Amino acid sequence: MQKKEELYSGKAKSVFATDNDDFVVLSFRDDTSAFDGEKVELLSRKGMVNNKFNAFIMNYLAENGIPTHFEELLNDTESLVKNMQMMPVECVVRNVASGSLVRRLGVEDGMTLSPPIFELFLKNDALHDPMINEYHIETFGWAKAADITEMKALTFKVNSLLQKLFAEAGMILVDYKLEFGLFKGKVYLGDEFSPDGCRLWDAETRKKLDKDRFRQGLGGVIEAYEEVAHRIGVQL
């Protein structure tokens, strides 16, 4: 597979064309951003850690019946993935109240959510990723009704699988964000799953092991990502 021109550069990853239209190269950079790109820093090793972390999770999910865009790890910071048409929607599941849910509704941080809460956001930095629902998505044509149903079902299936994976390694999966796309008309999990896009707490101490360390200036960001990777068995 020949890597060709850059197609897109996001806040933490870049996408490159290949000589096969069906596949693109996802390149994980060390750039770390928060607050819609207002806080940006280079954190050494982050690209490598997230690339390998994501490969591990995507493989685990695929082995357990989740269709994903992941094809193969190419090197320390790059992976080959399906060239999907992404849906501009973020699917969030919350098992424990934190972050924007607490700010929005004034509920207690750390409260267990039973049943878990599912939320949808429009992927749009200029509008600060506003919360939306199924009606906005269908009416404005961001995805078809059947594809929204599929995304939601897959997001909950991922929740059962990952809650178990992290619980067995002594962590609580507080919440996470997934993005999906279409490849040859079918819905696949896209983007990445890494501590950049989820909240993970140590089950005993509730120490934050995710991007909240960066958002809140707690330090030890990559060390925490590496600890999570180590605990679930990712080879870095």
Distance of closest approach, residue 30 Cβ to ligand C5P, in angstroms: 17
37 neighbors 126 (Cβ within 8 angstroms): no
Question: Is 213 a binder of ligand C5P (CB under 6 A)?
Answer: no
3 neighbors 20 (Cβ within 8 angstroms): no
Question: Is 163 a binder of ligand C5P (CB under 6 A)?
Answer: no
Question: Is 138 a binder of ligand C5P (CB under 6 A)?
Answer: no
23 neighbors 31 (Cβ within 8 angstroms): no
Dig out the tokens for 176 from the structure.
């996470």
Angle between helices 46-63 and 145-168 (to 10 degrees): 110
Pure H helices in 64-191 = 99-105, 134-139, 145-168
Pairing between β-strand 131-132 and β-strand 186-189 as defined by DSSP bridges? unpaired
Question: Is 176 a binder of ligand C5P (CB under 6 A)?
Answer: yes
Distance of closest approach, residue 33 Cβ to ligand C5P, in angstroms: 10
- Residue 67 or 99: the one with the smaller Cβ distance to ligand C5P is 99
Distance of closest approach, residue 27 Cβ to ligand C5P, in angstroms: 18
The burial of 223, by beta-carbon neighbours within 10 Å (0-12 exposed, 13-18 middle, 19 or more buried), is given as: exposed
Question: Is 99 a binder of ligand C5P (CB under 6 A)?
Answer: yes
Count of residues in contact with ligand C5P, rule CB under 6 A:
13
Site stretch for ligand C5P (CB under 6 A), options 22-30, 153-161, 173-181, 223-231? 173-181
Q: Which residues pair with 72 in a beta bridge?
A: 80
Question: Is 29 a binder of ligand C5P (CB under 6 A)?
Answer: no
- Residue 64 or 100: the one with the smaller Cβ distance to ligand C5P is 100
* Residues binding ligand C5P (CB under 6 A): 90, 92, 99-101, 129, 175-177, 197-199, 211
